[in-house]
Structure 1
């Protein structure tokens, strides 16, 4: 018992930091995700009507500038304010954002993603301060003037102080990355991108850095390579193909289904568990990512907007005129290199023991690396909460944004319950922060388990490795049959 305590203490800070970074990425994602349609609409405007577009039209091209300068940042700020402070927070965030927009020379996406939640937090704190202290009959005047006055000061602060600081920071990041581009070392970003994706930190990079920079560059030149440096589906496709041909029995059975969902559906989370099964295969996706970026650079290729989800269909839809060769070859190069490197690793790591036993051993190794999850549970048992003792009425599948892997997992599991004649149990998908409190069981990927436990430590949490054919999901199904 004494041997376990120091190990838990030493790993707990890492768990907390990673979970908090994941939560930050999830927050950014949930600001961007509801507005993806507007970003795609702007991307189509750019692809079609600018001077180098498919259907150049000077009159319709006038929509491009105001849309990216005003509409998109305001939507982000409104959504961020709503997430923190509800409708009043959304209004406050938008008021603050207009100060940023007018006071800057660049599209204020980063600023909007900061000022929106800040506005929501300010009005939320104010409302809490005056809760039950407003005299009867004065509610409307206090509510209206509080937003008006606080919003007025936030707008001035944004215009005079916050905006210039964010613009300077944005220019610094832009200069640094452009210097990397100029040296030809842009492919080195894959050393950061691919491991971050596997640890579910990709949203921090994509929504926090690449998308704002990409939109800014796309406004200037009609396309941006920043949209493809982390979202390329090629590295994941190559890895899954390698597992299809050279993986163990379980991997060969599940990888083809994961390929369809990953490459065509754009849910990249499907290949993360395969990397975690054999961590050395991260070299394959890193090499594939580098090959893809180098190819995009060679052909000066990019997209007009961020592909979300990262599906090949989204890639092709957002490819500007003259870029199809470079984009397609970039995806192919990433796939081929990732496939070759991963295949070599898998062939050199062939095991003689039973396939299923080997998979379980790799899962156990992952659990050892996640000892902090056990501490969060207050137990030294295997990761996961103690089983619910009462009847199971609601199962919540959760993920970072609540719209990708969790949606697929919930749909797949519902179908399995139907085939098994398990009725009367609700099974839906949510983002982690929105899981209903009346849920009986929470299912998340094991790399998100710590984050889930931050808010739901007393709930039964089932951490899984794979949304397709995971043994723990099969155990859960058997448990539901017997209940």
Structure 2
């Protein structure tokens, strides 16, 4: 398992593109609720809406032209310099908003971060020189004056440039749509989504353009280019029918989450597992967008997450059948292409990312063919000694990272670990601090490392299914047990080595199961020992179940009597505090077995 404190590396081109995309989408994502609110007000109360209401409809234009751009600028400034940057960024954005003939989303994306950067640099130059007692005057007037200057700069410089650029892009999009070439955009969008650029493309580029188009025509197909769930559900349906192994078994649950929950990231590992499936995603995306364009349909506002439910809520009156047709066409085409690829695949089906990662983890931890030595276990655990917080970080800080955090939080709770919070956030909002464990996707690991060089980092192939979560829980739990275990070992050595782990110290009345544990090369020995011990119990008419388990499969409870060799005993005590342990020299034939069998129920 990759769990290291990393040193920032030089950014690759891909990382730089992801970082730029994240900066753009990071200003949009927190404000998607406002965009949805505007879309609902428009769809329901505008003159052509479901329930026209002229009084309520007066909110449509101010929300579009002022509220949403100001919120975007506020968030952009906060990303650079917290609250001071947020306020200056919002004030600066007024310069591009006032007098503009188009919604100034792009202008807000420029002025927000620019305002935050300017006040940050201004503070670096002058804040430490301010005398005691004048801090409030400096803070308020520096922000106000700088915000005013930037707003004026926005009026005369940024506003004309952004207006010209927006008009040019809008005409370009209209032209592409008019010649029916928009579907070709999915040739680039679908592969980019698989590389976790989906939020950067959708919320950073398509949503601002879509809002501008929807403000004039009432709907936009641009909202559907990235959020269409059709290509993903088609691929997952193909796995349900033609897949193999664990990929086939997990596909139904993934399909429900993807289609109704809108978490598109869940099907990315399936495509990465068999890269040829990118053709299915592209074919589905192109055909879906072509259908939307052919039927002249779109939705009122951004559908986030990309759930069929969210899409239908944003669908204008009279367009439901068209939207469903486009989604269905995308799903059918991607399903057919994916089915052909999967049927032609001759592998055994057991090559999914989670399983391969589990095999890698197993190879790392089983260098002797069984569980790690006590020394190796201690070294691994010590990496977790300072961990105080676990954060899942993804591109947008929502969706898959939230679900991953929920899964690990549940495991941590069941393990009885109460003082380590598990949360999720966007990579752009990570803060470098001591005692932090950051879990992110493999594709985003470089960026997470650059943001938090002093944190411990773990990368996973899939937030929703990774064997590394169990290792994290085991190590966090073991950290709390090392000191007591070592103290107990010292007391044990000084007082009476004969008493600890011996047959006459066991509470046999509490035992409900006897377990033999794999150790080093002795997997075969523990299996044989399990069989022989079962025979002993059977001859005596005892019904206590006997199992052969790996060390990570135990439940920490006094209901378990664990029989191990002396080499495995210390490692077992590092991980568990409640199980009852008997140490024997020979697993196959110990003189202690007669006593144990006699006292078991």
TM-score, length of structure 2 as denominator length: 0.71
Q: Which residue is equivalent to 1:161? A: 157
- Tell whether the 8 Å contact from 2:430 to 2:451 is kept in structure 1 after alignment: no
The alpha-carbon distance between structure 1 residues 474 and 254, as it changes in their structure 2 partners (threshold 3 A), is farther
- Give me the whole-angstrom Cα distance separating, in 2, the residues matched to 1:188 and 1:432: 30
Indicate which of 401, 413, 419 corresponds to 2:408.
413
Matched, 1:314 2:276: no
CA deviation after TM superposition for structure 1 residue 399, in Å: 0.9
Q: Which residue is equivalent to 2:47? A: 51
CA deviation after TM superposition for structure 1 residue 86, in Å: 2.2
CA deviation digits over 1:194-250, x for unaligned, max 9? 111111112222222211111111111111111111110111111111122222211
CA deviation digits over 1:170-213, x for unaligned, max 9? 22222222221111111101111111111111222222221111
Secondary structure in structure 1 of the residue aligned to 2:225: coil
Q: Which residue is equivalent to 1:376? A: none
- Radius of gyration: which is bigger? 2
CA deviation digits over 1:394-434, x for unaligned, max 9? 32221112221111001112223444555554322222244
Secondary structure in structure 1 of the residue aligned to 2:128: coil
- Tell whether the 8 Å contact from 1:394 to 1:438 is kept in structure 2 after alignment: no
CA deviation digits over 1:350-372, x for unaligned, max 9? 314xx4357579779x9xxxxxx
- Give me the whole-angstrom Cα distance separating, in 1, the residues matched to 2:384 and 2:411: 22
Larger proportion of helix: 1
Q: Which residue is equivalent to 1:95? A: 91
- Give me the whole-angstrom Cα distance separating, in 2, the residues matched to 1:231 and 1:23: 21
- Tell whether the 8 Å contact from 1:278 to 1:362 is kept in structure 2 after alignment: no
- Give me the whole-angstrom Cα distance separating, in 1, the residues matched to 2:316 and 2:159: 31
Number of residue pairs the alignment of both structures matches:
449
- Tell whether the 8 Å contact from 1:394 to 1:441 is kept in structure 2 after alignment: yes
- Give me the whole-angstrom Cα distance separating, in 1, the residues matched to 2:100 and 2:70: 14
- Tell whether the 8 Å contact from 1:296 to 1:326 is kept in structure 2 after alignment: yes
Matched, 1:465 2:465: no
Q: CA RMSD in A?
A: 2.3
- Tell whether the 8 Å contact from 2:392 to 2:439 is kept in structure 1 after alignment: yes
CA deviation after TM superposition for structure 1 residue 471, in Å: 3.1
Secondary structure in structure 2 of the residue aligned to 1:461: strand
Higher relative contact order (CA 8 A, sep 6+): 1
Matches within 5 A, 1:350-369: 350-352=346-348, 355-356=349-350
Matched, 1:212 2:201: no
The alpha-carbon distance between structure 1 residues 50 and 138, as it changes in their structure 2 partners (threshold 3 A), is same
The alpha-carbon distance between structure 1 residues 145 and 459, as it changes in their structure 2 partners (threshold 3 A), is closer
- Give me the whole-angstrom Cα distance separating, in 2, the residues matched to 1:266 and 1:388: 39
Uncovered stretches (5+) of structure 1, i.e. residues with no partner: 1-11, 367-385
- Tell whether the 8 Å contact from 1:50 to 1:61 is kept in structure 2 after alignment: yes
CA deviation after TM superposition for structure 1 residue 322, in Å: 0.8
Uncovered stretches (5+) of structure 2, i.e. residues with no partner: 1-8, 361-379, 479-574, 576-601
TM-score, length of structure 1 as denominator length: 0.87
Indicate which of 391, 397, 406 corresponds to 1:402.
397
Indicate which of 265, 268, 285 corresponds to 1:269.
265
Secondary structure in structure 1 of the residue aligned to 2:54: coil
Matches within 5 A, 1:190-229: 190-229=186-225
- Give me the whole-angstrom Cα distance separating, in 1, the residues matched to 2:91 and 2:352: 57
The alpha-carbon distance between structure 1 residues 249 and 322, as it changes in their structure 2 partners (threshold 3 A), is same
Q: Which residue is equivalent to 2:143? A: 147
- Tell whether the 8 Å contact from 1:277 to 1:363 is kept in structure 2 after alignment: no
Matches within 5 A, 1:308-457: 308-352=304-348, 355-356=349-350, 389-391=383-385, 392-420=387-415, 424-435=419-430, 437-457=433-453
Matches within 5 A, 1:53-68: 53-68=49-64
- Give me the whole-angstrom Cα distance separating, in 2, the residues matched to 1:319 and 1:134: 55
- Tell whether the 8 Å contact from 1:50 to 1:222 is kept in structure 2 after alignment: no
Matched, 1:234 2:212: no
Q: Which residue is equivalent to 1:39? A: 35
CA deviation after TM superposition for structure 1 residue 46, in Å: 0.9
